[in-house]
């Protein structure tokens, strides 16, 4: 349902509520099932209309100049209603747009930011390859010099929004082996040789597209190089530091959604062993714990995840180092999210054995969070390295 510009609410909180309640929640059940034929463009168009795609973009470039804390709240609220929508929006506003803000030339910002910020264009971040997922610095996609710029050849894999995106941020090798040989390019989808694969059939997050991206000798002008030659790996890692705050917020939202489903189920169950407080107060502690203990643990996991996410976001907003804190938040929140969603499935059983029960959907969605934008093992490596370096 389109949100009329004339009714555009004033505050960020109101805009988030408007987005979640008018746009996201009504379509959540449909989104969970996914559609490999038609990408849900409306989630980005409506977010653009409400100024949410450009939350991390300065006003001078048409953005809303919000903070990373604002962004974490937006992604959590969206993911609580629909995780698939949240990941589409997260990639757009974070790893696709933010590197342009941070590393783009004036010309690049002018060319791309307004359309991405308004939600007219969808962005994607193309780092991973079939032979290099966690070891990102070993990527093999090549960008060779040609007269007018560069020619890109290679295959990217597990790219969120691929197939629907209008602009890809592509990391490709302009130099020798290792991180310093990598550069970042802005590649428009309409360029000859840009060939996305079919969306993968995934365990969860089925409403968001994830696909391969083939680059068959794609020519881009020199003006499409983002930052300096050889700076691509640093650009990607900087984007992922911030992106991991978004995925952490996504996990908080999914976990909160799963907890809400479980609380509602227990409240409305009419099962005296679980739902009747008088009975619980009057009977033995073991029974009381069996009923309420899991809910309390879930709440502790959600609350601690939220605090870690907000802590990393606040450090980022303050311009302080936050690589370690973002990795801690992502590791903790995504692992907690899987545990919370799994407990929600237990508490909602047997109904939750239905494939489309909201707890089952959230458990599948949760599982992806421990994998993309750096697996839990990668987060542990980042955290340990930062500790040892300190
Ligand atoms: N910020 C800025 N620069 C950084 C950095 C950071 N966080 N981390 C490393 N760098 C720089 C280093 O300073 C170093 O620079 P110099 O060469 O100038 O010294 C350079 O990058 C290389 O650093 P490392 O030697 O530490 O690099 P590494 O190869 O050992 O990296 C790794 C290891 C941290 C595991 C890294 O490969 C990594 O993060 N891997 C996971 C990748 C990932 O998250 N992929 C997900 C992609 S997106 C996705 O999931 C889907 C989607 O569509 C969004």
User: Which CATH number is correct for 234-389, 1.20.140.10, 3.30.230.10, 3.90.1150.10, 3.60.9.10?
Assistant: 1.20.140.10
For the chain, the farthest-separated pair of C-alpha atoms sits apart, in whole angstroms, at 82
Q: At what angle do helices 42-49 and 83-91 cross, to 10 degrees?
A: 60
Angle value at C-alpha 323, between 117 and 128, nearest 5 degrees: 65
In contact, 151 and 217? CB cutoff 8 Å: yes
Nearest CA to ligand 1 atom 18: 180
| Residue 288: per-residue pLDDT | 54
Assess whether 190 carries a catalytic annotation.
no
CA torsion angle 118 122 128 129 (round to 10): -160
Q: State residue 272's pLDDT score.
A: 45
Residue 132 is predicted with a pLDDT of: 87
DSSP state of 129: B
Please tell me the predicted confidence (pLDDT) of residue 6.
Answer: 52
Of 53, 68, 369, 86, residue with least CA distance to 239: 68
Instruction: Give the C-alpha separation, 311 to 321, whole Å.
Output: 12
Among 76, 129, 325, 373, the one annotated catalytic: 373
Query: Rounded to 5 degrees, what are φ and ψ at 146?
Result: -130, 175
pLDDT at 277: 47
Average pLDDT over residues 367-390: 94
Please tell me the distance between residue 197's alpha carbon and the centre of ligand 1 in angstroms: 26
- Give, using CA atoms, the residue closest to atom 47 of ligand 1: 373
Pocket test of ligand 1: the residue of 102, 138, 233 to mutate, having most ligand atoms within 8 Å of its CB, is: 233
Spatial separation of the C-alpha atoms in residues 302 and 300, rounded to whole Å: 6
C-alpha span between 128 and 253 (Å, rounded): 25
Distance of CA 195 to the CA centre of its chain: 23
Contact 99, 185 (CB under 8 A): no
% pLDDT > 70, the chain: 92
Strands (E), 127-175: 142-146, 149-160, 167-173
pLDDT at 229: 97
The 10s digit of each residue's pLDDT in 265-314 is: 888 865 444 444 444 454 555 555 666 789 999 999 999 999 999 999 99
What the block records as the tokens of 132 is 């290099």
Residue 296, Cβ neighbours under 10 Å: how many?
Answer: 10
In whole angstroms, what is the distance from residue 198 CA to residue 196 CA?
7
Average pLDDT value for residue range 323-335 = 98
Distance from the alpha carbon of residue 291 to the mean position of ligand 1, in angstroms? 44
Q: How far apart are the CA of 355 and the centre of ligand 1, in A?
A: 37
**The predicted structure's pLDDT at residue 16:** 97
Q: Residue 236: is its pLDDT beyond 70?
A: yes
Class for domain 3-122, per CATH?
mainly alpha
Ligand 1 atom closest to the Cα of residue 127 is 47
Residue 222 corresponds to which tokens in the numbers above? Answer: 């020199």
Classify domain 124-230 by CATH number.
2.40.110.10
Predicted confidence at residue 129, as pLDDT, reads 96
pLDDT digits over 146-178, tens only?
998 999 999 999 999 999 999 999 999 999 999
Q: What is the pLDDT of residue 317?
A: 97
| Interval 112-129 mean pLDDT | 97
- Reference 292, options 301, 304, 280, 283; nearest CA is 280
C-alpha dist (Å) from residue 124 to 97, 162, 186, 188, 215 = 9, 7, 10, 10, 14
Point out which residues pair with 214 in neighbouring strands.
155, 195
Give the residues surrounding ligand 1 with Cβ less than 6 Å away: 91, 95, 125, 127-128, 134-137, 158-160, 179-180, 233-234, 237-238, 240-241, 323, 372-374, 378, 381-382
| 39 C-alpha to ligand 1 centroid (Å) | 30
For residue 3, pLDDT over 90 is answered with: no
**Locus of tokens 């780092």:** 127
Instruction: Check residue 289 and give its pLDDT.
Output: 61
The rounded Å distance from CA 240 to ligand 1 centre is 8
Backbone angles phi, psi at 159, to 5 degrees: -95, 115
What is the mean pLDDT of the segment spanning 196-205?
A: 95
Model pLDDT, residue 291: 65
Q: For position 293, what pLDDT does the model report?
A: 85
**Which candidate, 326, 356, 302, 340, places its Cα nearest to that of 76?**
302
Taking all residues of the chain, what is their mean pLDDT, rounded to a whole number?
A: 92
Residue 283 CB neighbours (<10 A) = 14
Nearest residue (CA) to ligand 1, atom 43: 374
pLDDT of 359 higher than 50? yes
What is the whole-number distance in angstroms between the Cα of residue 108 and the centre of ligand 1?
A: 24
According to the model, what pLDDT value does residue 282 have? 47
Query: What's the pLDDT at 131?
Result: 87
pLDDT greater than 50 at residue 210: yes
Ranges of each domain in the chain: 3-122, 124-230, 234-389
The secondary structure of residue 200, as a DSSP letter, is: P
Q: What is the pLDDT of residues 176-199, one digit of tens each?
A: 999 999 999 999 999 999 999 999
| pLDDT at residue 10, rounded to an integer | 79
**Residue with CA nearest ligand 1 atom 7:** 237
- Best mutation site among 184, 237, 244 for ligand 1, i.e. most ligand atoms within 8 A of its Cβ? 237
Collapsing DSSP to helix, strand or coil, 8 comes out as coil
pLDDT, mean of residues 251-267: 94
Q: What is the mean pLDDT of residues 188-215?
A: 97
The pick from 137, 163, 375 for probing ligand 1's pocket by mutation, whose C-beta has the most ligand atoms within 8 angstroms, reads 137
Q: Which atom of ligand 1 is nearest to the CA of 378?
A: 35
């Amino acid at each position: 349902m389109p949100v009329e510009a004339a009714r555009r609410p004033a505050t960020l909180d109101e805009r988030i509520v408007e987005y979640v309640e008018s746009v996201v929640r009504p379509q959540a059940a449909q989104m969970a099932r996914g559609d490999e034929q038609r990408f849900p463009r409306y989630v980005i168009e409506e977010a653009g209309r409400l100024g949410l795609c450009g939350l991390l973009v300065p006003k001078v470039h048409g953005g809303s100049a919000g903070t990373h804390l604002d962004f974490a709240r937006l992604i959590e609220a969206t993911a609580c209603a629909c995780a698939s929508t949240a990941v589409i929006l997260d990639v757009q506003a974070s790893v696709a747009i933010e590197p342009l803000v941070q590393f783009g030339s004036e010309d690049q910002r002018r060319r791309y930011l307004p359309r991405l910020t308004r939600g007219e264009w969808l962005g994607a971040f193309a780092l991973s390859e079939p032979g290099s997922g966690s070891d990102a610095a070993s990527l093999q996609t090549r960008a060779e010099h040609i007269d007018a710029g560069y020619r890109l050849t290679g295959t990217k894999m597990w790219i969120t929004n691929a197939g629907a995106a209008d602009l890809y941020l592509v990391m490709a090798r302009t130099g020798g082996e290792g991180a310093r040989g990598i550069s970042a390019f802005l590649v428009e989808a309409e360029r000859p040789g840009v060939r996305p694969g079919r969306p993968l059939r995934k365990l969860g997050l089925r409403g968001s597209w994830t696909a391969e991206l083939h680059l068959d000798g794609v020519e881009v002008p020199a003006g499409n190089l983002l930052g300096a030659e050889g700076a691509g790996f640093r650009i990607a890692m900087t984007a992922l530091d911030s992106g991991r705050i978004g995925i952490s917020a996504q996990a908080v939202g999914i976990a909160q959604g799963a907890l809400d489903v479980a609380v509602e189920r227990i409240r409305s169950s009419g099962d005296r062993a679980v739902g009747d407080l008088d009975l619980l107060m009057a009977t033995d502690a073991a029974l009381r714990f069996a009923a309420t203990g899991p809910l309390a643990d879930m709440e502790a996991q959600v609350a601690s995840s939220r605090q870690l996410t907000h802590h990393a976001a606040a450090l980022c907003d303050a311009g302080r180092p936050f690589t370690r804190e973002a990795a801690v938040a992502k590791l903790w929140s995504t692992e907690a999210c899987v545990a919370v969603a799994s407990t929600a499935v237990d508490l909602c059983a047997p109904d939750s054995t239905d494939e489309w029960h909201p707890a089952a959907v959230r458990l599948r969605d949760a599982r992806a969070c421990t994998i993309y934008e750096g697996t839990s093992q990668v987060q542990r490596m980042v955290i340990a390295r930062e500790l040892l370096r300190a």
